[in-house]
Amino acid sequence: MGSPLSDKSEPPANYAVVHDRALRRAQVWIEPATPIEKARLGENPAGPDSFASDQVVECRFKPGGISGSTPKFECELRDGGKVKVKYGVRNPEVYTEVAASRLLSALGFPTDRMYVVGRVRCFGCPSDPFEGLQCVNEGTPIARCFPRLDYSRAEEFTPAVIERPVEGRRIETEKARGWKWEELAKIDPAAGGATRDQVDALRLLAVLLVHWDNKANNQRLVCLGTKGAAAKCDRPLAMVQDLGSTFGPDKLDLDKWAATPIWVDAATCSVSMKQLPYGGSTFPDTRITEGGRKFLSGRLRRLSTAQIRELFEGARIASYPHKTEKARDVDQWVRAFEDKVRAIVDRAPCPDAS
């Protein structure tokens, strides 16, 4: 976790005030450095700290509490940097989070970077580190959950993906973090926050992906490019942090994803997640504005069929042990994606949502 809000200079009691102040001015969309038409959705994100898709990454196991219900662990690289590793052929998030994060980033909605690698060689890891980490989450001391840690030997994990977070100071405490989708209504363009068009575009993109596990912990409020006092935040960003529970419900389910409609009421451009697991969690029923629909439509139109195919191929969607032959066909995923895009793009304008 990044530097917490509840450090010595900022009492935890002020969290709600600081959180709301930053959220009011938060952005949700930033013009991407690479034009959408040129985005290489089948490849790992570029940059000096990138990984090659066939790279063997060595790291040192960092035992401790970790959230979520799918196999993952934290590891320290040779340069001292810490990363999160998700692993396991039957772990759908190894595939969904790669595809969803690359799509959001290409369209200009910042999220954590996910890297496909050849395998991860973890020194000190047991064969299934997540089992022990769940033990730690229950409050049991690390020494009891991992009684035989041996950093002289390594376990290898494949398939595996590595997560690097967006750089910035997180506005959070040990017990309170992220934002609920219902809180997006607090963003105020008059105060410098994102426009309603941009916020509605993010809502609509979450519906397209069926981002049903949208509890506050799966979003993040970040101060970009700042490490100063917690009360100061010149560039707040409201972003989606965990995109593992997508392309479903539940996760990575082609038939259910394809059958989940964009609009709960197309005539009024209303969206809902109440029919999904957790009853939609923090996502409230919303009427999307025409400006929001057009904002997202204009960006989705710029993606080619070839790019969408590269998106699913690069995320290795076909490698997951699907129950049906249909779900192992990348063309079926491309078709389902483009059907959802057409439901957003090729329709009458949304009526006034005021």
Q: Which residue has the higher pLDDT, 4 or 257?
A: 257
pLDDT of 10 > 60? The answer is: no
Q: What's CA 312's distance to the chain center, in Å?
A: 16
* Rg of the chain in Å (alpha carbons): 20
User: Buried (b) or exposed (e) across 149-167, using 16+ Cβ within 10 A?
Assistant: eeeeebbebebbbbbbbbe
107 closest CA partner among 337, 312, 298, 243: 298
Q: Would you state the pLDDT for residue 353?
A: 66
Beta-strand pair 82-87/72-77: antiparallel
| Pairing status of strand 219-224 against strand 236-240 | antiparallel
- Rounded to the nearest 10°, the torsion over CA 251, 256, 257, 258 is 160
- What was the pLDDT predicted at 226? 61
Is residue 290 helix, strand or coil? Answer: helix
pLDDT category, 11, cuts 50, 70, 90? very low
pLDDT at 350 over 60: yes
What average pLDDT does range 96-124 have in this prediction?
A: 98
